[in-house]
Amino acid sequence: MKADAQTYTDRERGFVAWSAILGYGFDFYNLIILAFLVVPIQNSLGMGLADTGMAVSATLAASVLGGILFGWLGDLIGRKQALLLTLVLLASGSLLSALAWNFSSLLAFRVITGIGVGGEWGAGMVLLNEVWPAHRRGFGSSLVQAMSSFGTALASIAATVTLAHLDPGIAWRTCFAVGGVPLLLMLFVRSRMPESRLWLEYQRRRSSGELPPEKLALSSPLIEIFRGASLGYFILATIVAGGYIVNYQSISIFMPTLMQRDLATPLDALRAANLVFAAVSAVGMVVTGIVSDWCGRRLAVLLSTVIGIVGLVALYTGSTERYPGLLVSWWLFWAWLLWGFGQGAIGQFGPWFAELHPVEIRATAASTIFNTGRLIGSLAPYAVPVIATAVGSLRDGMMLAAAGAVVSLAVALVLPETVGRPFAVVEGKDRMS
């Protein structure tokens, strides 16, 4: 039995798509908002810089844990139920963060938020790809991933507006509350979206003993993803994702510091540049999604990564020129936009990793791969300053991005092509056979 996307109505697919789009947008908002609120939080709660860094790190670490946990739950209890649980955690953690009274309480509430943040991607991406038409999975996934740009822009706007018009001690709490309230409204959307019929049919056959013996003998998905062909896919795909995230983190986190501290960029110009960058990177993700459905996951990721590497070369050559007074006349600004457009590869990790695995381990595999890659990429914020100190240049330290991009590019050449692959209830663990 094949699971055809046409078995879903347009209304059902719409609920899934909007749930994923809105969820990931606020997911990313909650992940990044703390970076805009460091000073007012420190002053309000009596925290030091090290405390703030620990809160950020704890959120990121918890997101990795949440991704693996809810990917596994997506295979165990269903994609929809796992998503509803991540929604509750994400909303609760964000709203509770707005009520934090000291460092310990904020740390605990950010851990809750981080678990919800990580869980959103795994189960959500798999459900979208199982519901969406096979020939448009790349485009659908790219729309969801592009909402990371919306989340970043919303965080920047929320922090700027609240800090300009409210007492700083109220402003940061308001920003956290913004991350929680809209998510509560999504309970309505998610209560109406369908469960994956592919997963439901697999569970029905499993409970009635209709599956082949080798399927009935399978152990936990957390074990099965490290056996046979799945182990090879895990290693290759994790390197692709990890290299990409090293590339992304090395530039995105330190670019504002380079522009403002080293190149004398005023705050209003930096804010405008960030908003334009968010829009351009979102367009890059969508374009990559269209190319992916037309020409294949591998080619789309390769083309996107090559564009990003060209952008890195342009960034390096232009990163000693100080702000000239206008963004449009600044080489560095255009190089940054080119690099941002070339970050569209991440939007194809969802369908690519999902299409590599059968239904019974799909959510666990896709989410564990992506979040292990995220864990690898989280080393970049620590490595870049070390390299910069050793060589005496933040610009040179940021070029760790080139190593990540080249590694991701090289290993993507080895990962099997999957575009257009239909999903079935029963299929071999090695989907390439």
Q: Is the pLDDT of residue 178 over 70?
A: yes
Q: Please tell me whether residues 333 and 204 are part of one structural domain.
A: no
User: What average pLDDT score do residues 317-342 get?
Assistant: 93
| Same structural domain, 148 and 229 | no
The verdict on residue 132 lying in a domain is yes
Q: Is 427 inside any structural domain?
A: no
More confident of the two residues 31 and 388: 388
Higher pLDDT, 318 or 414: 414
In the chain, pLDDT over 90 holds for what percent of residues? Answer: 57
Residue 174 shares a structural domain with residue 74: yes
Q: Are residues 185 and 238 in the same domain?
A: no
Same domain, 253 and 371: yes
Average pLDDT over residues 392-412: 94
Total domains in the chain come to 2
Q: Which of 190, 209, 228 is the last residue of a domain?
A: 209
- What pLDDT was estimated at residue 6? 52
Does the pLDDT value for residue 101 go beyond 50?
A: yes
- Portion of the chain with pLDDT greater than 70, in percent: 97
Instruction: Indicate whether 4 pLDDT > 60.
Output: no
Handedness of CA 151, 152, 157, 162 (dihedral sign): positive
Residue 259 and residue 191 share a domain: no
The mean of the pLDDT values for the chain is 89
Predicted pLDDT of residue 84: 87
Give the domain-ending residue among 189, 209, 229. Answer: 209
Highest mean pLDDT among 13-17, 72-76, 154-158, 274-278: 72-76
Statement to judge: residues 223 and 148 lie in one domain: no
- Residue 432 clears pLDDT 50, i.e. is over it: no
Rounded to an integer, the average pLDDT of 379-401 is: 89
Domain shared by 236 and 384, yes or no:
yes
- Identify the pLDDT of residue 433: 40
pLDDT of residue 377: 86
Q: If you average pLDDT over residues 359-386, what whole number do you get? A: 90
Domain that holds residue 77: 1-209
On whether both 195 and 225 belong to a single domain, the answer is no
346-366 pLDDT tens trace? 999 999 999 999 999 999 999
**Stated pTM of the model:** 0.88
In a domain, 422, yes or no: no
For residues 354 and 229, membership in a common domain is answered with yes
Determine the pLDDT at residue 229. Answer: 92
Of 209, 243, 270, the last residue of a domain is 209
